[in-house]
Amino acid sequence: MTAPATPARFAICAALAVCSSLAAAAGARTSTGAGAAHAGAATYAGSAHGGPADIASILPVTGLVLTSTVRSTYVVSSGNESHSYSGTDIEQWDSVRDVSADAIDYQVRVSAPADAGASADLSKFVLHRRVRRQDIAQATRINLFYSSLDPQMFAGQTFEETSMRGLMLLKTGAAVPYVIGVIDGEDPMGGIGALLQRVAAQSGGGKAGDSPLAGMASLFTTAGHTYYRGDLRRVEAAPVTLPVLLDGVPVLLPALHVQGTLVNGGNSLQAQFWWLDSPAWPVTLKWSLSREGHVASQQVTKIDLPPPVALGSSGGIAEQLNRSCHVELSGIYFNTGSATLLPESQPALRNIAQAVVQSKQPVLDIDGHTDNVGTAKLNQDLSLRRAQAVRQALLSQFGISPKKLTANGFGFTRPVESNDSVEGRAHNRRVELTCAGSH
């Protein structure tokens, strides 16, 4: 498929058969099977995440940001040139941009491993999806993936959530018919397969077969949505719990875990979803799609509610700093492996600046920390650059005195959770504000 020379286009898809074969040829590491995802739920109680959260506070309000870990490869195509990017613990940020009586507007920003080319390519793509309130109330049809050519609204379908009606029916234990939209690698027009073959030839130094495609979720150019149909049914008799950082605080959220086999023609998907057990907004906390032993998955690791906008408010940061000389900063977002602050960080930076102004401490430290993916040297450098980026933003945007703030990087030497889990690594990737000399 030859894309037009004008703007690059992409889509996130489940290119199950084609992606899987290329990943195997390249020796790419794929995630575990769907059964492992279920087994993992039983281990969550042993994590550093604490008690239950007030789920009534988790609503689709303007400014809310969901941070997810995605197992995928991003493929961007423009003209005759295609690029692909993949890595471990790639993050995605889904924000609620606007809320009305009729609909909710979501913004999706995707990430990629630290790479100048990836940043240049992926920074162009901030996608938008509009979901009608009536569909959040009633629909049992979900469009999981997206293309840059998609309309903003797919009437009759949800995006970030299941419907209130769907949750209610599933809680009865009944088998509930669902339709799940993906972008399938077995595109009848052959476009996705052709693009993947082209990427395989152009990636990895231009050697065919060196494509970093892994698992089943990838980003592409033009692609049509394929809908799989089947029944979903709850797995456990009671809600399970999933660990999430809610405004930077480790909590366990109750989730309805469902699974089922979905089919389209001769193809089938094993699907699992974990939906927040909240009738107000049953947002998707985790999903997993499996085909022929290969898995695509996405898991929400952080939920940041919009900070207060009252003049002079620091959102509690100043009070916590005065009590303990230590605050884990929520709402700070970086591209994967990068020290470039994303625009979604602005509300948090405003509150941090207010807390710094209010603090009676002569000097405060901004401390960067990472997970253990990569070398010690790489993570030490990354953690320091991220701390310096936050410090510089506070100095340049809010007039904080340079003498008030220092920046330190600790790499992966001070984890707060085990790096053996997705949620643990997400928590270890953090920036903290501390009193100088307190660590």
CA distances from 187 to 16, 84, 143 (A): 11, 19, 16
Cα–Cα nearest to 300, from 133, 213, 427 = 427
CB 143 within 8 A of CB 159: yes
Ordered per-residue pLDDT tens for the chain, 439 residues: 333 334 455 444 433 333 333 233 333 322 323 333 322 332 223 345 566 678 989 999 999 999 998 875 556 655 566 666 555 677 889 999 999 999 999 999 877 655 666 666 666 678 899 999 999 999 999 998 777 778 899 999 999 999 999 999 999 999 999 999 887 554 433 344 444 444 444 444 333 333 322 333 334 344 567 899 999 999 999 999 999 999 999 999 999 999 999 999 888 889 999 999 999 999 999 998 887 766 778 899 999 999 876 555 666 888 888 888 999 999 999 988 889 899 999 999 999 999 999 998 999 999 999 999 889 999 999 999 999 999 999 999 999 999 999 999 999 999 999 999 999 999 999 999 999 876 6
Domains and CATH numbers, the chain: 11-304 (no CATH), 317-435 (3.30.1330.60)
CB 93 within 8 A of CB 333: yes
- Strand ranges inside 216-283, DSSP E: 217-220, 226-234, 240-246, 249-264, 267-276
Q: Which residues contact 378 (CB under 8 A, 6 or more apart)?
A: none
How many C-beta atoms surround the C-beta of residue 402 within 10 A?
10
How many C-beta atoms surround the C-beta of residue 381 within 10 A?
17
**Over the Cα atoms of the chain, what is R_g?**
22
As a whole number of angstroms, the distance between CA 179 and CA 193 comes to 24
The model's pTM: 0.82
